[in-house]
Amino acid sequence: MTRQGEGDRRSARESAQNLVRATGGGLLIGLPLLFTQEVWYHGFVLHPLKILFLLSVAFVVVVGYNLTSGFREDSSFFEVLVDSVEAMGLGILVSLVALVLLGRLELDMSLREVAGKVALEAIPIAFGASLARTQLASGEDSPDDDDQARSIGPFGRLFVAAGGALLFSLNVAPTEEPVMLGIEADWWLLLAVMVASIVLTFGLVFYADFQGSRPARPGDSPMDHPVSETLAAYAISLGVSLLLFWSFDRTEGTGLRALLGMTVMLGFVASLGAAVGRLLVGGGEAGAPQEEGAEGTS
Amino acid sequence: MRHNALEWAALTVSALAIGLVAILLMLEGLGATVPTDPALALRPEEGRAIALGWSIPGTLTNAGRDAAEDVVVEVKAMVDGEEETSEIEIPFLPGGSSVDVELGFSDRPEGAIQSRLVGYSVP
């Protein structure tokens, strides 16, 4: 959440604007899953503790993202925590209202079904709310570049990469398609998808000149190297994909060959999300400096 | 930084919403497992003539806590002296939930109507 420039307290108007912005961002990101039948279905089929686990992971990601993106150096952890709780709470409330408006929640439904659907749909909405507060604020509300120049380091970027991977793959993981694609693909096709995922995300983050991209030059740390960061982000993407398949009960009774194929296919989506996440938080001070040839300065 | 009243209200509501959902999920998750138990309650007295014969409304309920997928229920009744079978398939039946159904026959059934569960898959 952004801070008021002069005073020590936001006005009620600014707070209201923040909430409306967060609601809009949450709906923008959460809309595809709100209209996905498989997610409603998983809301009552999945074990409630698995849904709670997913919700907890999402909360950690939201806190991590808020810590690493869009906050000034003097933001306290408590403020970040407050904003994260608000983002998750908003996600739950918006999810509840949207599902009622879509006719997916009715009075004769069991509490388990209602809670499961609302919790699952709240995850992308909470992500969207956080993104809206940190990335979609107007120039007046957004932190200045000087303010935002908190160096998050290579591991911070990888944390955000995990969040991006989770957000993107969450849109696809509940559906049948990644399972079908993974099972039907030949081994050479899966290898080609792996190579494509790595090359594409390397290009997006280090070459394509997006806002937030960085020159492909190594920093001091071994993890602060474009190749190692790309490979680590891809590995994280595969891990996130596997975690989601487990969460959505896709791993039980599934053979290793099928599981590999499914993970690689969903990993393609997750790796793109990881790349977008790293672009959003930019380079900070880590990696190569951006002043010269800084095609991708933010 | 100090927060204004609206922010405190948003924080309170958010914390309550998160807590409520988390507690509900925990209670459901840690509670005793009750297997799927579909039951069909027909209402023949509300039956009505339709263009293709006779329709009888009913409610299919899952008394268990676990969900069922592709639930198939068969209903038999005597129509014009002959046994007639009607069948309905429900794609998803969550635990503790119910769904209204309509079962069709060629004409108004006579006597008792028998129903049975054909089967379902465990999601």
- If you ran DSSP here, which 8-state letter would residue A143 be given? P
Closest in B1, B18, B28 to A48, CB measured: B28
| Confidence at residue A1, expressed as pLDDT on a 0 to 100 scale | 44
**Cβ separation B6–A16 shorter than 8 A:** yes
Q: Which residues of B touch A85 (CB under 8 A)?
A: 11, 14-15, 18
Residues of A in contact with B30 (CB under 8 A): 49
In angstroms, rounded to a whole number, what is the distance separating the alpha carbons of residues A202 and A214?
10
Is the pLDDT assigned to residue B91 strictly greater than 50? yes
According to CATH, the topology of domain B38-121 is Immunoglobulin-like (2.60.40)
Q: What is the pLDDT of residue A36?
A: 92
- The 10 Å CB-count burial string (b at 16+, else e) for A160-169 is bbbbbbbbbb
Instruction: List the single residue in B with minimal CA-CA distance to A5.
Output: B1
Q: A12 and B123: CB-CB below 8 Å?
A: no
CA distances (Å), A160 to each of A84, A217, A236, A252, B74, in order?
15, 20, 11, 29, 53
A219: enclosing H helix or E strand: none
Residue of chain B whose Cα is closest to the Cα of A90: B14
Cβ contacts from A onto B, under 8 A: 122
What pTM did the predictor assign?
A: 0.79
pLDDT per residue as tens digits for the range A113-158 = 999 999 999 999 999 999 887 776 665 555 544 444 456 777 888 8
The token pair at B95 is 């635990």
pLDDT at B47 over 90: yes
Instruction: Tell me how close the Cα of B64 comes to any Cα of chain A, in angstroms.
Output: 11
pLDDT digits (tens, 9 = 90+) for A39-62: 999 998 899 999 999 999 999 999
Mean pLDDT of A220-238: 87
Strands (E), B17-109: 38-42, 48-50, 53-62, 68-79, 82-93, 98-105
Q: What is the ipTM of this complex?
A: 0.72
Q: Mind listing the pLDDT tens digit for each residue in A233-270?
A: 999 999 999 999 999 988 887 888 889 999 999 999 99
Residues counted in chain B: 123
A183 touches chain B (CB under 8 A): no
Q: Which residues of B touch A (CB under 8 A)?
A: 1-7, 10-11, 13-18, 21-22, 24-26, 28-30, 65, 67, 69, 92, 94-98, 123
Domain borders along chain B are 1-31, 38-121
Percent of chain B with pLDDT over 90: 54
Q: What is the pLDDT of residue A105?
A: 92
